[in-house]
Amino acid sequence: MTDGDTVRVYIDRGFRDYSEKSIRLLDVDAKEKFTGTLESRALGIKHRIALEDWEEEHRYCSENPDRWPFYVRTFKDRQTFNRYVGVIWCEQEHSMNEHMRSVTQAADANVSE
């Protein structure tokens, strides 16, 4: 995990062809860990922890331990030259993106109160 909206993934492209890429979660806007106010940075750390917790909880969703734990669908980011955005989910169709959207939106609602 890089932060609450960016992950490094090991991708199986088939035919024993693998790569590692940084993927930004589509439609997720987590706070940054290293910039902004102290409150904002604290939220950034909480967002990253929430992402790590989701990954740990869903890593073993499959009943078959030989299967890859997550599925990734990527799109070329239209706003950034060399970046990909993506949607990640486990075999039981639990979405990392949906989870992190709810975490970040709840944090934003608490900050604005």
Closest by CA to 51, choosing from 111, 92, 113, 107, is: 107
Distance CA 56, CA 76 (A): 27
Give the per-residue pLDDT at 1: 63
Q: Are 21 and 84 in contact (CB under 8 A)?
A: yes
In a domain, 1, yes or no: no
Give the per-residue pLDDT at 83: 87
**What phi-psi label fits residue 15: left (phi over 0), alpha (psi between -120 and 50 degrees) or beta?**
left
**Which residues of the chain have a pLDDT value below 50?**
none
- Residue-number span of the structural domain to which 75 is assigned: 6-112
In a domain, 35, yes or no: yes
Give the per-residue pLDDT at 53: 96
Give the per-residue pLDDT at 107: 78
In a domain, 92, yes or no: yes
pLDDT in tens, 30-54: 998 888 899 999 999 999 999 999 9
Q: How many domains is the chain built from?
A: 1
Q: Which amino acid is at 108?
A: D
In a domain, 86, yes or no: yes
